[in-house]
A = this chain, B = another copy of it.
């Protein structure tokens, strides 16, 4: 396992990086990568490689990687597919141990491409190089300003955080998801591409020991080595949640996903049972991949399955209860002490769902009431976690009450909180969401997603308990 760890370090923590291939202007290519690295403040060395440029973006261009005199940890190859074998051999001569092959036209295209892919795997094995890809946009590690995606993203930085995302698709790369606008905190991103060499097991082993990674979210269409995957997952999920979205769940999906997923997809129920055994939490929808990890990355685990709900309306409470029940969550009756405290604040706040709607309409000084209600509910021994609903009203400064309350909570809360914000103006919802995310509280895009995150946290916590 230490070998994987060490090799994958070259992909995620390189001190030097060669960018081999097209350097022309545009929204795709090596120039985009070099610019993105500069924008993100990459501290390592960058070596653009191209036979016919002398300089781009103030950096010297090398005509071959062999002309770089310093050590190169990672090579990024963005060329036509036919050029890849020779370039890999040159990388090997140079002593490079890790290569990201962005080029497409391999097994994903046709039989000729599949032959070429087998050829580069052969080279990699012979020369002792590990390959990520081909047909990938590579990796990102925001802590060191590393991003290898050759597509223009339109923003400079991804926030450093605890979530690692690995996927057999480019849909997780910086150009495909608004990491920046959502103030989304990432430890590592890994696009497996065709997975000819580095795969989900290698990544899991690396991330399992990566101190920056608190939760691992995977999207897979196929699992290369099912047994190894389950073994590695079992080990890692003991200390870090492993969340998996696997497509090809249905016969239709498996058929479309075709050759490479056929075998496992046909046995999705068996695979699902195996995942459960191995402690892997299965996701259902594409957005789950981005949303569910947020709770694990920032909140403590719940100690039990009792979810308190604070809401502006009863309906949201009932919908949240329905959703929670499917994950084994129950909405407790609050303790008599809590109930009487809440009643003293405002009659009718509720003994199960805490409906603050009527209070917030009439209360002149709702600020202090609000903080007190949250603290009271969270202190209740009957409560293990909280689903909190915020209304982002259109009145000037009306979101401050939430921000102030969460600022106080941040200093001292031991129960997970999942937040959903609704309201009449999209920008107000986004802005408040970003501020709370920056405070370390996950905000979810819909109410059921928030509850699902708590539900999956409970499932993970329960399994951990059972293992102890």
Interface residues of A (CB under 8 A from B): 27-28, 104, 108-110, 152-155, 167-171, 174-182, 219, 221, 247-253, 255-257, 261, 285-287, 313-319, 321-326, 330-331, 348, 352-353, 357-358, 361, 391, 393-395, 398, 422-430, 445-448
Contacts and interface: CB of A to CB of B under 8 A. Distances in A.
A104 B347 CA distance: 13
A168 B314 CA distance: 10
B249 A322 contact: yes
Contacts of A446: 285-287
Nearest to A108: B314
Nearest to A446: B287
Contacts of A427: 181
A153 B27 CA distance: 40
B423 A324 contact: no
Given A154-B424, A169-B314, A177-B422, 4 more contacts: A153-B424, A177-B424, A252-B324, A285-B448
A446 to B, nearest CB: 5
Contacts of A430: 426
Given A170-B313, A247-B318, A358-B104, A176 B256 contact: no
Given A286-B447, A324-B252, A448-B285, A176 B315 contact: no
Contact of A425 (B154, B313, B394): B154
30 contacts: A27-B393, A27-B394, A27-B395, A104-B358, A109-B348, A152-B395, A153-B394, A154-B428, A155-B425, A167-B315, A169-B313, A169-B315, A174-B424, A176-B424, A177-B422, A177-B424, A178-B423, A178-B425, A180-B425, A181-B427, A182-B426, A221-B314, A250-B321, A250-B325, A252-B324, A256-B353, A257-B314, A285-B448, A286-B447, A287-B446
